[in-house]
Structures are given as structure tokens and as C-alpha cells.
Structure 1
Amino acid sequence: MVRQIIFAAAALLYLGSMVPAAEVGDDGLHKEPWFTLTFRDIAEDIEAARQDGKRLALVFEQRGCIYCRQMHEEILADPAVADYIAANFHVVQYNLFGDEEVTDLDGSTLAEKTAARRWRVVFTPTILFMPESAPSEGTAGDAAVATMPGAFGKQTFLHMFQWVREKGYQGEEHFQKYHARKLAEAGGTIETSQ
């Protein structure tokens, strides 16, 4: 009986530390309460993020994507990950096959699905990290300072956001070396599973 009470208390403490689960919208995509809703004008979104002292990240997802669900339910449900991203990034969600209008950096207006093809996004989830200020020409795909293609483990995911925030892409330390260093500093090992 004592063991059952201890187990139940531990389970409640664990569940109490979790971020509320993202709701699934009418489009079949998970909606984090801290995702940024915009008019999908990339230059304006970069500037709005900059004014808030943050960076812009564009996340592409699709209905039924098991890796997108994993990202929301296992990675973004961790308060350490969600809180870091929400404090440092405006995250705007895109539907890989969506029809909502997007204005690219060159002024072109296109559907989300057309933007995905133009920016070379071919699977989900894919996250494009935008520069601190909008270039006056080119596309968002060309301007991205880093891309996270696919679902990764929690540490890799968080380290990528940290590396971008710290402008690691401007330095000599490749992301993989940054990630290995961060793991070593924390006494961890490199993740082997997706």
C-alpha cells in the first residue's frame, strides 16, 4: 500500500511538471499555445521577432505525421525545451500541403505548399531558422541560417535552437561538435534514436 501511494505521488509530480498537451487544430496539426500567429509575411515576421528580442523559426508539419506528433508529445511537452524556445523564438507553423497565403522575402505571394517546394522542404517536421534581419532579395529557403530536417531526440532538438540563438552558424564550431560538447558538459552521450 505504501509503495502504491509513493508511486501515485511520483506520477502526479511527474505529470504536474509536463507542459499541457498541444491541441490538434482543424487542419490536423498540433497547436502549441506559444506558437506565433502572423500574416505569414516572412520579412515582417523576422522584424517582429527581432523587435521582441527573438529569432524567427518556421516549422513545417502535415496532418497524420507521426514524427510531428512525437515532436509535440515528447519534445515540446518538456518544459525545459518549450520554455527555452518560447522565450527566444517566434515559431510560425506551416502546413506542408496547406493553401494559406505566404509572402516570401522577394515579395512573391504563394500558397504554403508552393512555398514548401520553393524552399526545398520535403518532409515533416522541418524547421527553418531565419536570419536576425530580413535580406532584401532571395527566398526564405535561401536566407535560412540553419535547417533542422526531421524529428530528433530532445537534446539534439534543444541544442539546435540554442546553437542558432548563440549564432553558432557564424563561428567555426559545426553544430555536431557543439552538440557533442554540450552533451559532454552535461555528462551525457549522443542520442542514438530518432
Structure 2
Amino acid sequence: MRQIVHLVIYLLLISGVGFPRWWFSKADEGLRQAKEQGKLVVFYFHSQYCVYCRQVEDFVLPDEEVTKKLKNFVVVSLDINSEEGRFWANRLGVFGTPTFVVYDPSKGSRVDLLFGSRPKEDFLRFFNKVCTAYRIKNC
């Protein structure tokens, strides 16, 4: 049964419908939203065959605390092998997947980067650090 559940999740993820509806799959849409709301952007770089990406997507991103943190940002999910993904990865200094990059659209610059499959606590520390530095309330 567990294998079937993982297969369904995997198929949803590779079909592009597995990410939350409030995430963007196009950078320009996410950046526009972030500018309108005065928020930072979190770029999530992943790839179809990245085992570590699946770990993050299965065990970290669905966590309620992580989801709550991410809602303070505009999230843009990009396949690093797509044309748009390669463009943004090169621009932001991303060298592999999974990578999360916090980006300030008002300054056009990278704020911070987290690479690799990490435990939930590492993600929470990472986003807490950014929230503190940018004085994001209720983060």
C-alpha cells in the first residue's frame, strides 16, 4: 500500500500538479505577485529524477510548520532542467537540486540559499533567519 501511495505522489509531482496551488510555476507570475504584496520570493529548484527532491517533497514540504513558514513568501517552483529553470539557476548561483533560494525582487538580489535534502528543523531555522533579517511579522 505504501508503495502505491508513493507512486501516486511521484506521478502527481512529475505531472506538475503535486505542488500547492498557491505556488507558482512561472517566475514572472511569482515575481509580479511578490512585488504587489511586498514579499520575498522563495525559488524551489528541483528535477524530475532527483531522489533528494522527492525526500524534501514527501517529508518536509507537507509539514504544517514548514507550510506555515512558506506562506510568508511567494514560492516559485522551477525544474532546473527547463529553460526558465536554467536561466534562474545560473542567475542565482544554483548548482544542484534540491535548492531553495530566497530572492528579494525589490533589489533584484539573492538573500540566502539552502541546498540539499535536510530535516524539517534545518528548513525552519533557515526561514526563521530570513524572517528575522527582513522583520517579517508572524513568521
Is 2:16 the counterpart of 1:32? no
CA RMSD of aligned residues (A): 2.7
Q: 1:120: which partner in 2?
A: 93
TM superposition score normalised by structure 1: 0.55
Cα distance, 1:43 vs structure 2: 5.1
Bigger Rg, which one: 1
Which residue pairs with 1:44 in the alignment?
32
CA distance in 2, matches of 1:56, 1:151: 20
Q: Do structure 1's residue 146 and structure 2's residue 119 form an aligned pair?
A: no
Q: How many residues align?
A: 126
Cα distance in 1 between the residues matched to 2:31 and 2:54 = 29
- Bigger relative contact order, structure 1 or 2 (CA pairs below 8 A, ≥6 apart): 2
Q: Which residue number in structure 1 is paired with residue 131 of structure 2?
A: 165
Which runs of at least 4 in structure 1 moved beyond 6 Å after TM superposition? none
What is the identity, as a one-letter code, of the residue corresponding to 1:120?
G
**Richer in helix (by share):** 2
Match of 1:63 among 41, 48, 62: 48
Specify every segment of 5 or more residues in structure 1 that has no aligned partner in the other structure, as ranges.
1-20, 100-110, 169-194
TM-score by length of 2: 0.74
Preserved contact between residue 24 and residue 30 of structure 2 (Cα < 8 Å): no
Distance 1:43 1:69, change over 3 A: closer
> What per-residue deviation string (whole Å, max 9, x for no partner) do you get for residues 60-119 of structure 1?
110011111111111112112212322x111101111102xxxxxxxxxxx321332232
User: 1:167 and 1:66 mapped to 2: Cα distance?
Assistant: 32
What's 1:75 paired with? Answer: 60
Partner of 2:77: 93
Relative distance call for 1:39 and 1:68 in structure 2 (3 A) is closer
Gaps of 5+ in 2: 1-8, 135-139
1:121–1:148 distance in 2 versus 1, CA, 3 Å:
same
